[in-house]
């Protein structure tokens, strides 16, 4: 219509199409200008990434549809008519006609609505998750400007935080949190709470407000201020029954009276990236606390707000510059032992929060989109079959003067009516789907609590269902409406041009469905295969016949009596019938909580850099209980318990009395190989910055996994449990190896604990097998979810191919009958029909395999031990799909070939 239309980008063309929601006069007056402006807005969004583009589209679709409606309403009010044509009346007539036609064939309508509903339902469910987790901004003011900081991959030491806060030029506010635990005593059952110590700016940065009472005042952050606490909504309702009078009352936290001054707002979402989601109660963080003044104690989770004109790169440059300056000024902790630089890394808070999840969710979105395409192809099949039946009806209408355009609009009205009905069903299914997703998710997805079915996603679903209706309605509509009236009247079952074009369309649909289903099956196959690999990984110890008990003794057993308590506990458990070994640590492997502590260690004989290692305090029975045999050296014995106590590695310089000069330790092969590759490790020793203790290796074990089956082995150090005596940590995780013949062992174990202390909360008595299974629940969930989509897609595709072939063979019945009378044998006919279909199946399979190979990268980060283009998996999937495809062709072909030619020809 206008010169500007040429040279439009694809996005501009889509936008121009959307503008059809507006009245024609508006479009004529402003359309080009609006499209041009949108083009520039779109370029801006494009340069800031896929999320921005996605957000722009959802916003635009909503806004244009709403704006168009208002524009038309304004025109109507002004008496200008709608669009200057009588299409309003036509539209109503089309809709009525559509409903009548649909009502005449309820089976067809139900099938269409069901298929579309399934596709839209799955898509909307995953969209809700993608929207809530990835697209929606974090629920904080100026959330795009929030950055998270790590020092060398760990939390940030307090003095470093103070320095950076003072010197930064790119951050306008900096807040920090340290999440610890605290015992709530006094009224009711004692309870262990998560305590979030927060710095003064943090609540401001997160936009948190008080729901009742108030938050902290600046004076309350000063050392020596009165102890005050703010409750989270969760604790306030759960523990205090949402009692208003709690504000102002005094509670006992860690044995000290603390005044509750407020409850933080209901709309406040604790940031997971800062670990504050574990906090039940908040108290002010005193940065001047003496035990915080250590540059090797990595404690603070830090978040900052960038200045309005700064970007994340500028912040990183700023931090590097500061680090270089601190290094030049010889500030402790900014230079590695090998002279290398240490620095702080800044990441956008949203990226830190959802890191690693993006791939998974986009993959699922892709999977459901494929499923939707297959469902659409199925519906298009149904419509094609219907359009054949209705060739006469259309011809009559055309003969009576309906233009090609009117016929197309009428058919599209029918298909969109059905697809919108399907879309509504899909939204209902999605409501259930989202709930099911939240229940089944084993906890591997961040921000999952913010996921809900909301307006933007529903608007998207509605638009999607309309587009779907157009997509599957358009092809049949075009081919039907294009039929010459005369040809249609003549058509009596013999293959004509029109039905030939339809059968070509069917061929394309068959190829499409097979290819898409193959991609999904391949993805699911590879994830499943990878899950099997993961499950087959040896944990490095014997998980069978190993019962574990987790508890926290901090509140019940004083630190000075803990060694004695552990000793008595082990003795009692060891004599239970069926028990063969007992050993314990703070935490046994495969626990999501804390297991150990991390320290940097170094080999004093070389100038090599420090290595981060994980320290596990263990009792002498630990390795026997876990079924670990030593690769070299010896295990711990009772004599090792008397070497003395080490000061916590993270405590300030003062070693204290009773401190061990030499500490016997057992290390794993990973650490041995990094310090002393190829040479024996037993008899060697290493040191730790800030600590005079020499750590002497007495034994070496091989790869024992503590966290995950799919992670590389870290450097682990085991030391006698007694070396941590007196530490303020009461975690115990007891491993009880048994012969598997005493079914009542868990009950007996519980009784032992009750005898020792009937007030001791014994958290969990659970088999180690179950703990390992729990650690791979997330990959299992992903594999299962993708497999569900793939199986649906596979069944839909198989049904689609079968019905297509049934139809195509039906069209050729007459031809086959003639061939049979002319002497073609049963096998010849079969070969003729199946041969053509086999080509389609083959093409679909080849396209599917190529697509699966090309898309392999998408799931690469989710695979373990299997390449994303694993030939064996692809071969199995391709063979399976081709076999099902051929069978779907063969069944109708066989029936046709067996039919009596005389009957066939008469019937034709």
Q: Which residues bind another protein (CB under 8 A)?
A: 4, 19, 22, 26, 29-30, 32-38, 40-41, 59-60, 63-64, 67-68, 70-71, 141
Shortest Å distance, C-beta 334 to another protein? 34
Residue whose pair of structure tokens reads 């995950």 in the numeric block: 708
Cβ atoms < 10 Å from Cβ of 767: 15
- Per-residue b/e over 215-249, b at no fewer than 16 CB within 10 Å? bbeeebbeeeeeebbbbbbebbeebbeeeeebbee
CA distance 699 to 687: 17
| Nearer CB in complex with another protein: 60/168 | 60
Q: Which helix (H) or strand (E) holds 887?
A: helix 871-898
Shortest Å distance, C-beta 61 to another protein? 9
| Nearer CB in complex with another protein: 30/110 | 30
Which three-class secondary structure string do you get for 85-147?
CCHHHHHHHHHHHHHHHHHHCHHHHHHHHHHHHHHHHHHHHHHHHHHHHHHCCCCCCCHHHEE
| Nearer CB in complex with another protein: 41/872 | 41
Phi, psi values for residue 253, rounded to 5°: -115, 125
Phi, psi values for residue 798, rounded to 5°: -60, -45
Shortest Å distance, C-beta 348 to another protein? 16
Q: Is 717 helix (H, G, I), strand (E, B) or coil?
A: strand
Number of H helices, E strands in the chain: 26, 21
Contacts of 548 (CB under 8 A, 6+ apart): 588, 733, 734, 735, 736, 764, 765, 766, 767, 768, 771
| Nearer CB in complex with another protein: 2/741 | 2
Q: Which helix (H) or strand (E) holds 762?
A: strand 762-767
Shortest Å distance, C-beta 134 to another protein? 19
Shortest Å distance, C-beta 73 to another protein? 11
| Nearer CB in complex with another protein: 62/831 | 62
| Nearer CB in complex with another protein: 40/338 | 40
DSSP state of 866: S
| Nearer CB in complex with another protein: 215/666 | 215
Q: Which residue in 569, 647, 25, 32 sits closest to 297, CA to CA?
A: 647
| Nearer CB in complex with another protein: 2/104 | 2
| Nearer CB in complex with another protein: 44/564 | 44
Shortest Å distance, C-beta 168 to another protein? 20
Shortest Å distance, C-beta 413 to another protein? 25
Shortest Å distance, C-beta 28 to another protein? 12
CA distance 869 to 854: 8
| Nearer CB in complex with another protein: 34/363 | 34
Cβ atoms < 10 Å from Cβ of 581: 19
Q: Name the CA dihedral angle for 838, 839, 840, 841, rounded to a multiple of 10 degrees.
A: 50
| Nearer CB in complex with another protein: 67/213 | 67
| Nearer CB in complex with another protein: 36/356 | 36
| Nearer CB in complex with another protein: 18/732 | 18
CA distance 355 to 505: 43
Tokens standing for 505?
Answer: 């369309």
Residue 516, judged by CB atoms within 10 A of its CB (0-12, 13-18, 19+), counts as buried
Shortest Å distance, C-beta 456 to another protein? 13
Shortest Å distance, C-beta 64 to another protein? 6
CA quadruple 529, 530, 533, 539: dihedral sign: negative
Listed in sequence order, the DSSP H helices in 718-860 are 745-756, 768-775, 777-811, 813-821, 826-860
Shortest Å distance, C-beta 54 to another protein? 14
Tokens standing for 670?
Answer: 């990973």
Shortest Å distance, C-beta 78 to another protein? 10
Shortest Å distance, C-beta 207 to another protein? 10
| Nearer CB in complex with another protein: 71/414 | 71
Q: Is the distance from CB of 229 to CB of 258 less than 8 angstroms?
A: yes
CA distance 333 to 331: 7
CA distance 219 to 227: 11
| Nearer CB in complex with another protein: 43/594 | 43
Distance, first Cα to last Cα, the chain: 49
Shortest Å distance, C-beta 33 to another protein? 5
| Nearer CB in complex with another protein: 33/860 | 33
Q: Which helix (H) or strand (E) holds 881?
A: helix 871-898
CA distance 146 to 572: 53
Shortest Å distance, C-beta 143 to another protein? 11
| Nearer CB in complex with another protein: 34/115 | 34
182 forms bridges with which residues in the sheet?
193
Q: What is 492-548 written as a DSSP string?
A: SSS--HHHHHHHHHHHHHHHHHHHHHHHHHHHHHHHHHHHHHHHTS--SS--TTEEE
| Nearer CB in complex with another protein: 75/813 | 75
Shortest Å distance, C-beta 79 to another protein? 15
CA distance 860 to 122: 23
Q: Is the distance from CB of 834 to CB of 823 less than 8 angstroms?
A: no
Shortest Å distance, C-beta 306 to another protein? 14
DSSP state of 617: E
Shortest Å distance, C-beta 883 to another protein? 51
Residue whose pair of structure tokens reads 């004093």 in the numeric block: 604
């Amino acid at each position: 219509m206008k010169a500007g239309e040429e040279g439009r980008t694809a996005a501009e063309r889509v936008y121009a199409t959307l503008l059809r929601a507006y009245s024609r006069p508006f479009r004529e007056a402003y359309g080009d200008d609006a499209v041009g402006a949108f083009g520039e807005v779109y370029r801006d969004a494009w340069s800031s990434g896929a999320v921005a583009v996605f957000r722009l589209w959802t916003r635009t679709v909503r806004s244009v549809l709403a704006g168009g409606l208002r524009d038309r309403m304004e025109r109507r009010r002004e008496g200008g008519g709608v669009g200057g044509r009588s299409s309003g009346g036509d539209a109503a007539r089309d809709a009525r006609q559509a409903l009548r036609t649909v009502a005449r064939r309820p089976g067809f309508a139900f099938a269409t609505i069901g298929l579309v509903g399934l596709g839209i339902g799955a898509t909307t469910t995953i969209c809700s998750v993608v929207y809530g987790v990835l697209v929606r901004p974090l629920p904080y003011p100026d959330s795009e400007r929030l950055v998270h900081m790590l020092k060398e991959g760990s939390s940030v030491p307090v003095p470093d935080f103070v320095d950076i806060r003072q010197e930064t030029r790119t951050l306008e506010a900096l807040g920090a949190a340290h999440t610890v635990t605290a015992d709530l005593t006094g009224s009711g059952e004692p309870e262990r709470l998560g305590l979030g110590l927060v710095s003064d700016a943090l609540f401001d940065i997160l936009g948190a407000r008080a729901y009742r009472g108030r938050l902290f005042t600046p004076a309350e952050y000063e050392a020596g201020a009165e102890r005050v606490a703010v409750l989270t909504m969760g604790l306030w309702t759960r523990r205090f029954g949402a009692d208003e009078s709690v504000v102002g009352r005094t509670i006992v936290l860690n044995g000290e009276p603390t005044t509750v001054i407020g409850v933080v707002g209901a709309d406040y979402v604790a940031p997971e990236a800062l670990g504050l989601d574990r906090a039940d109660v908040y108290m002010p963080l005193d940065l001047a606390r003496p035990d915080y003044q250590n540059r090797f104690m990595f404690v603070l989770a830090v978040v900052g707000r960038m200045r309005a004109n700064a970007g994340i790169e500028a912040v990183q440059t700023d931090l590097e510059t500061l680090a270089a300056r601190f290094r030049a000024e010889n500030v402790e902790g900014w230079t590695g032992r090998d002279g290398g630089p240490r620095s702080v890394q800044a990441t956008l808070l949203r990226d830190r929060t959802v890191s690693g999840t993006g791939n998974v969710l986009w993959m699922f979105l892709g999977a459901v989109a494929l499923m939707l395409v297959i469902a659409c192809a199925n519906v298009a099949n149904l419509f094609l079959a219907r359009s054949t039946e209705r060739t006469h009806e259309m011809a009559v209408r055309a003969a009576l003067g309906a233009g090609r355009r009117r016929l197309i609009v009428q058919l599209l009205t029918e298909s969109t009516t059905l697809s919108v009905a399907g879309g509504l069903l899909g939204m209902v299914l999605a409501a259930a789907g989202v709930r099911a997703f939240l229940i089944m998710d084993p906890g591997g997805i961040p921000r999952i609590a913010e996921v809900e079915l909301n307006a933007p996603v529903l608007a998207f679903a509605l638009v999607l269902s309309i587009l779907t209706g157009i997509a599957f309605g358009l092809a049949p509509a075009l081919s039907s409406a294009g039929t010459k009236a005369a040809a249609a009247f003549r058509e009596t079952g013999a293959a004509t041009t029109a039905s030939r074009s339809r059968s070509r369309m069917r061929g394309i649909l068959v190829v499409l469905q097979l290819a898409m289903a193959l991609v999904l099956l391949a993805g699911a196959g590879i994830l499943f295969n990878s899950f099997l690999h993961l499950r087959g990984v040896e944990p490095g110890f014997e998980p069978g016949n190993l019962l574990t008990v987790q508890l926290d003794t901090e509140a019940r057993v004083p630190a000075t009596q803990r060694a004695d308590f552990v000793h008595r506990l082990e003795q009692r458990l060891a004599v239970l019938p069926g028990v063969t070994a007992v050993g314990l640590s703070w935490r046994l492997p495969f626990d999501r909580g804390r297991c150990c502590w991390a320290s940097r260690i170094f080999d004093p004989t070389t100038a090599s850099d420090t290595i981060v290692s994980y320290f596990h305090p263990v009792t002498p029975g630990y390795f026997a209980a876990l079924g670990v045999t030593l690769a070299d050296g010896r295990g711990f014995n009772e004599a090792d318990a008397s070497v003395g106590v080490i000061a916590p590695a993270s405590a300030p310089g003062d070693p204290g009395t009773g401190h061990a000069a030499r500490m016997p330790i057992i290390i794993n092969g990973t650490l041995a190989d990094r310090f002393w590759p190829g040479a024996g490790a037993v008899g060697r020793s290493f040191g730790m910055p800030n600590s005079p203790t020499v750590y002497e290796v007495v034994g070496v074990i091989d790869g024992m996994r503590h966290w995950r089956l799919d992670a590389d082995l870290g450097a682990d150090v085991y030391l006698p449990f007694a070396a941590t005596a007196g530490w303020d940590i009461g975690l115990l995780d007891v491993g009880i190896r048994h012969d598997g013949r005493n079914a009542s062992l868990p009950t007996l174990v519980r009784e032992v604990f009750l005898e020792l202390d009937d007030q001791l909360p014994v958290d969990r008595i659970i088999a180690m097998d179950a703990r390992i299974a729990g650690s791979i629940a997330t990959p299992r969930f992903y594999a299962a979810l993708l497999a569900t989509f793939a199986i649906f897609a596979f069944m839909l595709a198989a049904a689609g191919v079968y019905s297509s072939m049934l139809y195509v063979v039906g069209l050729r019945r007459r031809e086959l009958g003639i061939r049979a009378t002319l002497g073609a044998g049963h096998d010849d006919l079969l070969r003729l029909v199946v041969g053509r279909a086999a080509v389609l199946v083959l093409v679909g399979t080849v396209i599917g395999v190529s697509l699966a190979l090309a898309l392999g990268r998408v799931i690469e980060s989710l695979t373990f031990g299997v390449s994303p283009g694993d030939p064996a998996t692809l071969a199995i999937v391709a063979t399976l799909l081709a076999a099902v495809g051929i069978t779907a062709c063969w069944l109708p072909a066989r029936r046709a070939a067996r039919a009596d030619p005389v009957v066939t020809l008469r019937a034709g």
